[in-house]
A = this chain, B = another copy of it.
Amino acid sequence: MIAEIISIGDELLVGQVVNTNAAWMAHHLNEIGIPVKKISDIADNAEEITKALDEAFSRSDVILVTGGLGPTKDDITKHTLRDYFKTELVFHQPSYENITRLFGSRGFAISPINRKQAEVPANCTPLINYNGTAPGMWFEKDGKILVSLPGVPFEMEAIMEQYILPRLAEEDNQRVVAHKTILTQGIGESALSEMIKDWEESLPAKMKLAYLPQPGIVRLRLTAYGETKEKTLQAVENQAKTLQSLIPELIYGFGNDTMEQIIGRLLKEKNCSLSTAESCTGGYLAHLITSVPGASDYYQGSVIAYSNQVKQEFLRVSEGSLKLYGAVSEQVVKEMAGGARKRFNSDFAVSVSGIAGPDGGTPEKPVGTVWIAVASKNGITAKKFMFGEHRGRNIRRAALAALNLLRLSLLE
C-alpha cells in the first residue's frame, strides 16, 4: 500500500505557510508501515486539484488531502470533491451538533457560513472534527481511499489519530519498513561520515542510512525493508547498537527524543533540580526546558540577564569581573552559573553568555562567541564555543550546546 499527500492552499505556494502537515502525516504513515511516495503542494484551484487527484489515483492506494475546508470564500476543496465524484452536498447532523457545541462553549453564535460547514458530499463518510468546524471526509473509489482533512494542524492531527491511522493500519500492507533514528551532537556531517564509514559500508543491501544535519545536531536515519515487522525492527536495532558501541560519546539519544526530554528524564532519575541564567539565548534555553510537560518537577526558573546590571543584581556577578573580563567571558559565565545555583537553591545551574549578533561583535570576540557554564555540587566548569553569524541559529546552537554540557555533567 502506497500513500501520497496533497496539500492544498495558495498560502503554501506563496510561501506564507510552511507545510508542517505533510511531514506530520508522512511520519505517522511510515510508523504504521505505509510508505509515502510523493507530497504535492498545489493551489486553491479546482482545475489543479482535479488534475492532482487524477494523477494520485493513477499511482497511489491512499491519498491524503489537506486544506481548503475553511468557512471562507477562498476554500474550495469540498465543492471540488463534490464535482470530482459527481455527487451533491448533504447536511450532516452530527457535524452540525459538533459545531453547535464548539460555538456554545466559546459563547459565540453560529453564523450561516458555519452551518454550511456541516454539509458534505453524499458519497463520503464524514469524520467529526472535535477541534474545529470543518469535518474530515473519507471517500472510496475503485478500491482506493481518499481522505480530505482540514489544514489546521491540530484539527488534522486529531482526526488522523482518531479515525484514519487506526483504519489504515488494519489494511494489509505489502511491505514492512522499520526506521531507527540516531541522534548525534557536536560533530559535522562529513566528519561523522568519515568516522563511521566502515560500519556504513558493511550495512546489508536492504538497509539505508541518511544524514539529517541541523544546527548543532546530525540525525542519522537507518531504514530497513523486510518481510516481518519484528525481524526488520530487530535488524535496525542491532545496527544501531553496533553504531552506539563505535561512537558512544557522540550519541545523545534515539528517535524523537529531544535533548530537553533527555535532560528532564535524567534530572527526574537523579531527583535533582535545575535553574538557568541566560544572556544571549534570551529565554530560549528556558523555553526548551519548559516545553517538556512536567518540567516544574525539576525546573526552578531562570534569570534572563540582558544587561550587566541585571547580572549583578539578580545573579550576584561581581562588578570587577564584568569590568575586567567583559560579560562574555569564562569568569562571568561561571559567576552566573554559581549565582543562579545559589539563588535558586538548585542542584544544577546552567548559564550562557555570548554574542548572538548581528551587532555587538569585536575582533577579539566576534559574533558567535558563546561561553557556557554548568554548576553543580562538584564545582563549576565552563566551555567556549565559536558559532556562526546568524542570530537565530546562534541562539539555537548555544541552547543545545548548553543542554548537552548539562547532560554530560548529569552522566558523570
Contact = CB atoms under 8 A, between A and B. Distances in A.
A213 B67 CA distance: 12
Interface string A290-324: 11011110011111111101100110000000000
Given A25-B15, A395-B291, A111 B194 contact: yes
Interface string A1-30: 000000001111111111110111111111
Nearest to A284: B287
A354 B13 CA distance: 37
A273 to B, nearest CB: 9
B303 A189 contact: no
Contacts of A306: 290, 295-296, 299-301
B189 A70 contact: yes
Contacts of A299: 282, 306
A314 B119 CA distance: 55
Contacts of A392: 291
A211 B150 CA distance: 13
A50 to B, nearest CB: 14
Contact of A209 (B13, B74, B283): B74
A152 interface: yes
Interface in A43-66: 43-44, 48
B18 A293 contact: no
Given A19-B22, A70-B211, A395-B291, A296 B307 contact: yes
B191 A108 contact: yes
B74 A210 contact: yes
Contact of A282 (B22, B40, B287, B360): B287
A15 B64 CA distance: 14
Nearest to A283: B286
Interface stretch (A31-39, A141-149, A376-384): A31-39
Contact of A23 (B17, B43, B133, B212): B17
Contact of A307 (B133, B278, B300): B300
Contacts of A395: 287, 290-291
A42 interface: yes
A353 to B, nearest CB: 13
A348 interface: no
B41 A14 contact: no
A96 interface: no
7 contacts: A13-B26, A13-B39, A38-B42, A108-B191, A293-B391, A300-B310, A301-B307
